[in-house]
Amino acid sequence: MRLILLGAPGAGKGTQANFIKEKYNIPQISTGDMLRAAIKAGTEMGMAAKKVMDAGGLVSDDIIIGLVKDRLAEPDCANGYLFDGFPRTIAQADAMKDSGVVVDYVLEIDVPDESIIERMDGRRSHPASGRVYHVKFNPPKVEGKDDVTGEPLVQRDDDKAETVKKRLDVYHNQTEVLLSYYNNWAQSGQPGAPKYRRIAGVGPVEQIRDSAFAALAE
């Protein structure tokens, strides 16, 4: 199973990625993790990336694709791999295609913006333990207090409505174009084109998981 997971920030990609990884015994490929590992290992690509990052620049798509190809050659990718958060742009998608990175499925988790904002803005956490609550879907026994310690819960800056809206704007402006890119490629009938599947990302987590598994079995 070789797939790309697409969807807006807060759509639940991370949660579903864990289910998919376990079911198919495949690693999750994150460009951030790859960069850190390559720099730590001192590989040629890693050192090239470090030079750019130390100078305050953005790592080029060529280096990223080089890292991806190196990563996919590792033994744990024998059963496949899952891309989450990559590619982010058409240029990266083209570079992946041109370099022969094989993708069987592109799975889009579709969640309306208002649901994402409600989901994120309602989160409250207990910093010391990592316990997470939601004011509507999973409220603490006492409003604003951790169930176990009674200590105050906090709302992370990343979860505040205005921050979430900004992240969604960036997604719509930069990354959403990938939905039609992969959908059109899937429908083109070209050799090597992936299958494109869209599932609704609202409802119980298990229901979304079952939808994802069903979509990837078609």
Q: What is the pTM of this model?
A: 0.85
Catalytic residue among 23, 51, 156, 166: 156
Residue where the block lists tokens 């009938």: 189
Does 58 show up as a binding residue in the annotation? Answer: yes
Does 83 show up as a binding residue in the annotation? Answer: no
User: Is-catalytic flag, 88?
Assistant: yes
22, two tokens: 């376990």
User: Is-catalytic flag, 124?
Assistant: no
Does 88 show up as a binding residue in the annotation? Answer: yes
Does 132 show up as a binding residue in the annotation? Answer: yes
Helix locations, the chain, DSSP H: 13-24, 31-41, 44-54, 61-72, 90-98, 113-121, 161-170, 177-188, 205-216
Catalytic residue among 145, 167, 195, 198: 167
Which of these, 68, 70, 49, 69, lies nearest to 60 by C-alpha position?
49
Which of the 8 DSSP states describes residue 113?
H
Does 14 show up as a binding residue in the annotation? Answer: yes
Q: Where do the domains of the chain lie?
A: 2-216
pLDDT at 37: 87
45, two tokens: 């690509």
Number of H helices, E strands in the chain: 9, 7
Q: Which CATH superfamily is domain 2-216 in?
A: P-loop containing nucleotide triphosphate hydrolases (3.40.50.300)
Per-residue pLDDT of the chain (218 residues; tens, 9 = 90+): 999 999 998 899 989 999 999 999 999 998 888 888 889 999 888 899 889 888 888 888 888 898 898 899 999 999 999 998 889 889 999 999 999 999 999 999 999 999 999 999 999 999 999 999 999 999 999 999 999 999 999 999 989 999 999 999 989 998 899 999 999 999 998 988 999 999 999 999 999 999 999 999 98
Question: How many residues are present in the chain?
Answer: 218
72, two tokens: 């996919």
Question: How far, in Å, CA of 187 to CA of 33, rounded?
Answer: 32
pLDDT at 123: 95
Catalytic residue among 2, 13, 197, 209: 13
User: Is-catalytic flag, 165?
Assistant: no
